[in-house]
């Protein structure tokens, strides 16, 4: 098995830490959103909001879903993956 294939398989199962810089206004909006979305244990911290929001964003992008399906089909067929 090639090293690249092993790396891709590993990434499929592991979490990846990502550090980003947010504009102050976006951070304030995330803080407010978390305060308004009070859960069982109080306000939701902004860092806990990012992953569900990104997942929902990607799930709603039809162009991305179509491209991802074609990339996955290419992997199964042995072709080189390319996003449009």
* Distance in angstroms (rounded) separating the CA atoms of residues 29 and 23: 10
Low-confidence ranges of the chain (pLDDT < 70): 1-13, 75-84
> What pTM was computed for the model?
0.58
Going by the DSSP 8-state scheme, the letter that residue 19 receives in this structure is -
| Whether 49 contacts 30, CB under 8 Å | yes
Tell me: the pLDDT tens digits for 39-57? 778 888 888 888 888 999 9
pLDDT at 32: 92
* Distance in angstroms (rounded) separating the CA atoms of residues 44 and 64: 28
* Distance in angstroms (rounded) separating the CA atoms of residues 3 and 23: 37
């Amino acid at each position: 098995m090639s090293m690249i294939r092993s790396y891709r398989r590993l990434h499929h199962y592991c979490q990846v830490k990502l550090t980003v810089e947010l504009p102050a206004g976006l951070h304030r909006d995330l803080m407010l959103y978390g305060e308004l979305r009070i859960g069982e244990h109080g306000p939701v911290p902004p860092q806990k909001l990012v992953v569900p929001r990104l997942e929902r964003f990607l799930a709603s992008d039809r162009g991305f879903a179509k491209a991802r399906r074609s990339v996955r089909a290419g992997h199964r067929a042995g072709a080189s993956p390319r996003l449009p």
